[in-house]
């Protein structure tokens, strides 16, 4: 951006230096106006063209940089989304394992209670 501004300022100075207005000379009897030939504005045109080309190149560079930044942000967002999905899957698997463990503990407790009651019934006979 700084290069773009510097190029535009340089272009303005170049056009101001080479494309000055014609001077008027007055004499007592007649007034005449002299103008500069058209060929003297050629350096200003070249300077302006160079400035425009530099500005276009800077604009392209800025656009490419912005596109690259957008791609990086997209990859980062995708990575964050993938991480969130993996985390959700991990939590889901953990919850499923806890439910399975709780069910196994409940079944074991019920089996133990049944075995204890069977043992009491056998002892009572």
pLDDT at 39: 47
DSSP per-residue string spanning 9-54 = HHHHHHHHHHSPPPPEEE-SS-EEE----GGGGHHHHHHHHHHHHH
Tokens of 113: 């209670």
More confident residue, 109 or 122: 109
Average pLDDT over residues 41-64: 76
Per-residue CA distances from 20 to 10, 33, 45, 51, 89 (Å): 16, 14, 13, 19, 73
Boundaries of every domain in the chain: 2-18+38-124
pLDDT tens per residue, range 22-45: 555 555 555 555 555 544 445 556
The whole-number pLDDT of residue 40 equals 47
Do 10 and 49 touch, CB atoms closer than 8 A? no
pLDDT at 113 over 50: yes
Report pLDDT for 107.
92
Mean pLDDT of 72-78: 88
* DSSP class of 125: -
Q: Which residue has the higher pLDDT, 109 or 20?
A: 109
CA atoms within a 13 Å half-sphere pointing along the CA-CB vector of 22? 9
Task: Assess contact for 57 and 69: CB atoms under 8 A.
Answer: no
Instruction: Write down the pLDDT at residue 41.
Output: 47
* DSSP3 helix / strand / coil % (the chain, rounded to 5): 85, 5, 10
- Mean pLDDT over each residue of the chain, to the nearest integer: 79
């Amino acid at each position: 951006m700084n290069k773009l501004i510097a190029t535009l300022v340089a272009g303005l100075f170049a056009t101001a230096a080479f494309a000055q207005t014609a001077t008027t000379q007055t004499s007592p009897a007649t007034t005449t106006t002299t103008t500069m030939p058209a060929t003297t504005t050629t350096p200003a045109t070249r300077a302006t063209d160079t400035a425009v080309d530099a500005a276009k190149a800077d604009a392209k560079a800025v656009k490419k940089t912005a596109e690259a930044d957008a791609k990086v942000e997209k990859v980062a967002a995708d990575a964050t989304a993938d991480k969130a999905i993996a985390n959700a899957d991990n939590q889901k698997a953990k919850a499923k394992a806890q439910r399975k463990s709780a069910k196994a503990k409940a079944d074991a407790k019920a089996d133990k209670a049944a075995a204890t009651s069977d043992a009491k019934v056998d002892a009572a006979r």
